[in-house]
Amino acid sequence: MDKVRSHEQSKLPATLEQCRRCDLWEHATQAVPGVGPARARIMLVGEQPGDQEDVEGLPFVGPAGALLDKALAEAGVNRAGVYLTNAVKHFKWEPRGKRRLHKTPAQKEIAACHLWLEEELARIQPEVVVALGGTALKSVLQDSGATMKSFMDAPFQHEGRWVVAVYHPSFALRARDEASRRRAYQVIVDGLRQALRLADKVR
């Protein structure tokens, strides 16, 4: 049975909704694809859908999405002009009473879902990718050892495009105190401004 299951998971699915390359689909409401223009200069990659995204089938529509909207506006980036997606397309969660709490995807789940990010990169062809948090950075670089600390200081090039690494908006929401939350938020805003400047240079 395990061999059959492994064989099924190794197949390339025809659509995201049919994806069974890891087990996250079993407990998610639906797969959440990326959204945005067919040709966007900037792609924002998050970690995974949250509870609200899982229900609505759209990325960044929950509290983290609201903070991201604020940061985009402050940075002068038009949300309608960027492509928004996640490294992992199904919501990974654990029960806490009646609530579904976010659980960080495992490396095997990030790796299983990477083909969808590759497809999006090939189709959208962004000049700049903004990695929102560590999971996104690992997926973009295909490097399980990549850390935010190593890449947040400055934009860098990877496979012919610029990459900017910043905190995920949920990190700024969960920071332990107001000063930490403000610092994390400012890192996001500054990174989005850098992404816009880089995209303008390439154009």
Instruction: Look at residue 22 and tell me if it is in a domain.
Output: no
Instruction: Look at residue 12 and tell me if it is in a domain.
Output: no
The pTM assigned to this predicted structure is 0.92
Domain residues for 114?
A: 27-202
The count of structural domains within the chain is 1
Instruction: Look at residue 20 and tell me if it is in a domain.
Output: no
3-state helix, strand, coil in the chain (%, to 5): 50, 15, 35
What's the pLDDT score for residue 203? Answer: 63
For residues 145-149, average pLDDT:
95
The 10s digit of each residue's pLDDT in 6-56 is 444 456 688 999 999 999 999 999 999 999 999 999 999 999 999 999 999
Instruction: Look at residue 8 and tell me if it is in a domain.
Output: no
| Distances, alpha carbon 163 to alpha carbons 30, 53, 132, 149, 156, in Å | 29, 25, 11, 14, 5
Instruction: Look at residue 18 and tell me if it is in a domain.
Output: no
Instruction: Look at residue 10 and tell me if it is in a domain.
Output: no
| Distances, alpha carbon 89 to alpha carbons 97, 129, 133, in Å | 24, 17, 15
Instruction: Look at residue 182 and tell me if it is in a domain.
Output: yes
Q: How confident is the model at residue 119 (pLDDT cuts 50, 70, 90)?
A: very high
Instruction: Look at residue 165 and tell me if it is in a domain.
Output: yes
Kindly tell me if the per-residue pLDDT of 5 is higher than 50.
no
* Rounded Cα gap, residues 147 and 134, in angstroms: 6
User: What CATH number corresponds to the domain at position 135?
Assistant: 3.40.470.10
* Rounded Cα gap, residues 150 and 136, in angstroms: 14
Kindly report the average pLDDT of the chain as a whole number. 93
